[in-house]
């Protein structure tokens, strides 16, 4: 898991900014008709008859990732996923990204290559054009700023503010695995610090670690919903944790919600590893974050269209605002939902 | 010039990420029809029938700016200008920006407010909507990542690659002032370090310091060129220095160029301060950078349309590639032009 340190190192300063940009961009192939001009001018040029989606996220070393156990290729892949996920959460398709990096001189060219190999893989897998960016030095560490562009038919956009009382609350995939993957990696880091010759024991945590290191944005769900002829009344991606995202939808839609603990989808690995770490698996799913699943609401009349789909789980329903936002526990107690998700500033 | 330290400080961590975002965005007013949805969802939503321009730049503390003498309001303003300048350099109009910041806990809320006051002022002055961004902590210092969106009629786009032999090379405004402004500020910083009670003497350098701290992107030139019915055959903005930008145009257009030293527009302050600093004013103009003027080429047949305009100076002409890229000195010597501009990675 810990990265293989390559011996041949190329000093970044010897390339210069333009040399590095040329090096990183000369293999880019553009796929989208909407990409009129990619890298190489003052700005990229795009063209679209649909609504255009625009989203951006910063990933900072020491805050969002720890290079002790995050391979740079995975980091590049994840930096793209985090942004594409926001486009899919609008019920749109991602078409272009720009990638800016600030990097200290302690990183050789080979490290930046590894980072970009993950970025290119993400672009290829998700059919996205890399059309621009900026490359600069930093006084410390690595910072990645990705901006994603997407398209969506005007009548298909899913905002956060359209949930109505009696709508069903639906989540994709399962929750909590990315957070537990992080706990496993942090534990291995401590073991490694104490004994650098120790072999990491990660086999039984493969699913959790993959969910943390190589999340996949749910492009497939946007396609699925269109095929099922379901338009979400509200949608958001789960980056900060289920609680936090439900509260966003409820606040912006001016509604309340009942979330049923027994319905929250958990993988077997999340249940067993929560026990091992002495954590409540519901708390992990509510507050863990970084799952990059989609959370959305649909009209009750659409229930028959999604019923039985293995990708989708109904976990609650929307209520009038006056009823508040609650978790209904397995013991049928109602507990007010509060956001305790990951906070980038704390 | 050195910033007035305010006494009342609000800890960023006490607000949290969402609190800070709410605080920074609740006063945003959107002006563009193309802005369907600004901040507050997973992505901003834009709409356009024209070509869309997309550009992004990173500004890193300790690399691009020094908070010892850069007021945060000016920094916010400049971070926007740097990006708008790239949109204007495509002959387009900027319509939206996103702003992401990574900030360490040593900055109180009031510092972030000052930064955003400059960002908001830039948006207001240049008629641009702030539609999104990201806010996170950093382990050290401040980093600003701005992405700008613009629009341009499909037949009006000016790429870097359209210059033809015999085209005229034209520059806006005057050059070298921003670089000398930086030299003046760096000198004052050393004086201040040696004697913190010394009053900075900046009066005679007002123009230079303003060009460094509060550059203005040349939106007016895009409007002017349209009014004059001139479409540049190639265009770029001057961020790295005149030499570097000429070489970009020549490389991408596959042409050569003769640049005439005697024609390069210099302000009186640049001439006198170059002498004072024992610098060659031509070298300052060629390699200084950060002027954010526009450099473009036009067909000779358009010369009569721009002749005598005080904003525009013809400084050379395009040649076949085989003739190379040269500076023709006042003594009528031809010197090969090389890029020695600012390099973000050195």
Across B311-337, average pLDDT:
96
The reported pLDDT for the residue numbered B39 is 85
Residue A158 CB-half CA count within 13 A: 28
Q: Choosing among A36, A54, A61, A245, which should be mutated to test the B contact, i.e. which has the most B CBs within 10 A?
A: A54
B37 lies in the same domain as B131: yes
The reported pLDDT for the residue numbered A59 is 95
- E-state strands within A173-244: 234-237
A344: which chain B residues are within 8 Å (Cβ-Cβ)?
Answer: 17, 135-137
Chain B nearest-CA residue for A93: B43
Across B138-161, average pLDDT:
93
Residue A162 lies in a domain: no
The reported pLDDT for the residue numbered B1 is 38
Query: What value does the mean pLDDT of chain A take?
Result: 91
| CA B344 to chain centroid | 15
Full strand arrangement of the beta sheet holding B325-328? B234-237, B294-298, B168-172, B312-320, B255-260, B325-328, B334-336
Q: Out of B89, B100, B139, whose CB is closest to A140?
A: B139
Across A271-299, average pLDDT:
96
B14 — pLDDT class (breaks 50, 70, 90): confident
B341 — pLDDT class (breaks 50, 70, 90): very low
The 10s digit of each residue's pLDDT in A306-338 is: 999 999 999 999 999 999 999 999 999 999 998
B47 lies in the same domain as B184: no
The 10s digit of each residue's pLDDT in A139-163 is: 888 999 999 999 999 999 999 999 9
Token digits for B226?
């349209």
Q: Could you give the percent of chain A with pLDDT greater than 70?
A: 96
The answer to whether B236 faces chain A, any CB pair under 8 Å, is: yes
Verify whether the Cβ–Cβ distance A344 to B135 is below 8 Å: yes
The reported pLDDT for the residue numbered B278 is 96
Across A162-183, average pLDDT:
98
Of the candidates B43, B259, B35, B324, the one whose C-alpha atom is nearest the C-alpha of residue A84 is B43
The domain that contains B210 carries what CATH number? 3.90.650.10
B174 lies in the same domain as B110: no
Residue B66 lies in a domain: yes
Parent domain of B73 = 12-152
Verify whether the Cβ–Cβ distance B57 to A100 is below 8 Å: yes
Query: Which residue, of B124, B152, B180, is where some domain finishes?
Result: B152
The answer to whether A93 faces chain B, any CB pair under 8 Å, is: no
Are B131 and B36 in contact, with CB atoms under 8 Å apart?
no
**Closest chain A C-alpha to B109 CA, distance in angstroms:** 12
pLDDT tops 60 at residue B6: no
The reported pLDDT for the residue numbered B8 is 65
The domain that contains A37 carries what CATH number? 3.30.1330.10
Across A65-72, average pLDDT:
93
A39 — pLDDT class (breaks 50, 70, 90): confident
The 10s digit of each residue's pLDDT in B20-35 is: 777 777 778 888 888 8
The answer to whether B194 faces chain A, any CB pair under 8 Å, is: no
B144 lies in the same domain as B213: no
The answer to whether B216 faces chain A, any CB pair under 8 Å, is: no
A181 — pLDDT class (breaks 50, 70, 90): very high
Verify whether the Cβ–Cβ distance A13 to B345 is below 8 Å: yes
A114 lies in the same domain as A188: no
The Cα–Cα gap between B259 and B338 comes to 12
The answer to whether B143 faces chain A, any CB pair under 8 Å, is: yes
The 10s digit of each residue's pLDDT in B29-71 is: 888 888 888 888 888 888 888 999 999 999 999 999 999 999 9
The SS3 call for residue B239 is coil
Residue B295 lies in a domain: yes
Pairing state between β B168-172 and B312-320:
antiparallel
The answer to whether B25 faces chain A, any CB pair under 8 Å, is: no
Q: Out of A100, A139, A148, whose CB is closest to B140?
A: A139
The answer to whether A320 faces chain B, any CB pair under 8 Å, is: no
pLDDT tops 60 at residue B195: yes
B188 lies in the same domain as B61: no
Least confident interval from A64-68, B165-169, B339-343? B339-343
The answer to whether B147 faces chain A, any CB pair under 8 Å, is: yes
pLDDT tops 70 at residue A113: yes
The reported pLDDT for the residue numbered A340 is 65
A137 lies in the same domain as A263: no
Residue B346 lies in a domain: no
Residue A157 lies in a domain: no
pLDDT tops 70 at residue B272: yes
Chain A nearest-CA residue for B238: A42
Chain B nearest-CA residue for A145: B145
The reported pLDDT for the residue numbered B3 is 43
A2 — pLDDT class (breaks 50, 70, 90): very low
Q: Please report, for residues B58, B89, B170, the alpha-carbon distance to residue B210 in angstroms, rounded to integers and kept in the order given.
A: 21, 22, 24
Residue A199 lies in a domain: yes
B42 lies in the same domain as B178: no
Of the candidates A216, A256, A218, the one whose C-alpha atom is nearest the C-alpha of residue A89 is A218
Q: Out of A12, A53, A87, whose CB is closest to B345?
A: A12
Verify whether the Cβ–Cβ distance A343 to B16 is below 8 Å: yes
The 10s digit of each residue's pLDDT in B228-261 is: 999 999 999 999 999 999 999 999 999 999 999 9
The Cα–Cα gap between A79 and A93 comes to 17
Q: Out of B48, B58, B154, whose CB is closest to A134?
A: B58
A135: which chain B residues are within 8 Å (Cβ-Cβ)?
Answer: 344-345
The reported pLDDT for the residue numbered B9 is 78
Of the candidates B122, B132, B160, the one whose C-alpha atom is nearest the C-alpha of residue A146 is B132
Query: Which residue, of B152, B185, B202, is where some domain finishes?
Result: B152
Chain A nearest-CA residue for B97: A54
Chain A nearest-CA residue for B51: A47
pLDDT tops 90 at residue A201: no
pLDDT tops 50 at residue A344: no
Verify whether the Cβ–Cβ distance A102 to B346 is below 8 Å: no
Model-level pTM?
Answer: 0.91
A178 lies in the same domain as A218: yes
Chain A nearest-CA residue for B13: A346
A146: which chain B residues are within 8 Å (Cβ-Cβ)?
Answer: none
A131: which chain B residues are within 8 Å (Cβ-Cβ)?
Answer: 54
B2 — pLDDT class (breaks 50, 70, 90): very low
Q: Choosing among B25, B37, B38, B56, which should be mutated to test the A contact, i.e. which has the most A CBs within 10 A?
A: B56
**Closest chain B C-alpha to A100 CA, distance in angstroms:** 7
The reported pLDDT for the residue numbered A4 is 44
B142 lies in the same domain as B237: no
Of residues B17 and B182, more confidence is placed in B182
pLDDT tops 80 at residue B165: yes
Verify whether the Cβ–Cβ distance B51 to A45 is below 8 Å: yes
Residue A97 falls in which region: left (phi positive, over 0), alpha (psi -120 to 50) or beta: beta
Of the candidates B241, B245, B243, the one whose C-alpha atom is nearest the C-alpha of residue B289 is B241
The reported pLDDT for the residue numbered A7 is 54
Q: Please report, for residues A258, A298, A309, B187, the alpha-carbon distance to residue A304 in angstroms, rounded to integers and kept in the order given.
A: 20, 11, 10, 73
**Number of domains chain B is built from:** 2
Residue B190 lies in a domain: yes
Which helix H or strand E contains B207, and what residues bound it?
helix B206-213
pLDDT tops 80 at residue A16: no
B133: which chain A residues are within 8 Å (Cβ-Cβ)?
Answer: 56
The answer to whether A46 faces chain B, any CB pair under 8 Å, is: yes
The Cα–Cα gap between A158 and A150 comes to 13
pLDDT tops 80 at residue A129: yes
Across A107-136, average pLDDT:
93
**Closest chain A C-alpha to B87 CA, distance in angstroms:** 6
Verify whether the Cβ–Cβ distance A43 to B89 is below 8 Å: yes
In this predicted complex, what is the ipTM?
A: 0.88
A265 lies in the same domain as A320: yes
- Residues A24, A28, A32, A36: what is their CA dihedral angle, to the nearest 10 degrees? 70
Q: Please report, for residues A160, A231, A292, A293, the alpha-carbon distance to residue A90 in angstroms, rounded to integers and kept in the order given.
A: 8, 11, 13, 13
The SS3 call for residue B318 is strand
The reported pLDDT for the residue numbered A106 is 86
Least confident interval from A13-17, A70-74, B117-121? A13-17
Total CB pairs under 8 A between chain A and B: 229
Chain A nearest-CA residue for B236: A42
Residue B4 lies in a domain: no
A140 lies in the same domain as A189: no
Query: What value does the mean pLDDT of chain B take?
Result: 91
pLDDT tops 90 at residue B75: yes
The 10s digit of each residue's pLDDT in A77-108 is: 999 999 999 999 999 999 999 999 999 888 88
Chain B nearest-CA residue for A99: B56
Q: Out of A47, A49, A148, whose CB is closest to B51?
A: A47
pLDDT tops 50 at residue A341: no
């Amino acid at each position: 898991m810990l990265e293989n340190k390559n011996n041949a190192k190329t000093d970044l300063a010897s390339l210069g900014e333009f040399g590095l940009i040329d090096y990183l961009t000369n293999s880019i192939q553009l796929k989208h008709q909407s990409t009129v001009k990619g890298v190489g001018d003052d700005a990229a040029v795009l063209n679209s008859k649909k609504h255009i989606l625009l989203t951006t996220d910063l990933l900072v070393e020491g805050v969002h990732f720890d290079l002790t156990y995050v391979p740079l290729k995975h980091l590049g892949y994840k930096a793209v996923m985090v942004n594409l996920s926001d486009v899919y959460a609008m019920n749109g398709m991602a078409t272009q990204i720009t990638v800016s990096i600030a990097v200290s001189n302690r990183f050789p060219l080979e490290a930046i290559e590894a980072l970009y190999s993950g970025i290119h893989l993400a672009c290829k897998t998700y059919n996205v054009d890399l059309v621009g960016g900026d490359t600069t030095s930093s006084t410390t560490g690595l910072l990645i700023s990705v901006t994603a562009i997407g398209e969506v038919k005007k009548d298909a956009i899913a905002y956060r503010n359209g949930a109505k009382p009696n709508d069903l609350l639906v989540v994709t995939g399962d929750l909590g695995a990315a957070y537990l993957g992080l706990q496993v990696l942090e534990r291995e880091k401590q073991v490694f610090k104490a004994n650098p010759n120790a072999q990491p024991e990660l086999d039984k945590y493969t699913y959790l670690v993959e969910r943390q290191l190589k999340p996949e944005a749910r492009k497939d769900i946007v396609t699925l919903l269109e095929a099922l002829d379901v338009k979400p009344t509200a949608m958001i991606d789960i980056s900060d944790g289920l609680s936090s995202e439900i509260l966003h939808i409820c606040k912006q839609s001016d509604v309340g919600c009942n979330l049923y603990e027994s319905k929250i989808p958990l993988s077997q690995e999340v249940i067993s590893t929560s026990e091992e770490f002495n954590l409540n698996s519901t708390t992990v799913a509510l507050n863990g974050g970084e799952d990059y699943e989609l959370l959305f609401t649909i009209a009750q009349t659409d229930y028959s269209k999604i019923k039985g789909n293995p990708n989708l789980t109904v976990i609650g329903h929307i209520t009038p605002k006056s009823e508040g936002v609650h978790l209904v526990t397995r013991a049928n107690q109602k507990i007010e939902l509060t956001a305790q998700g990951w906070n980038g500033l704390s």
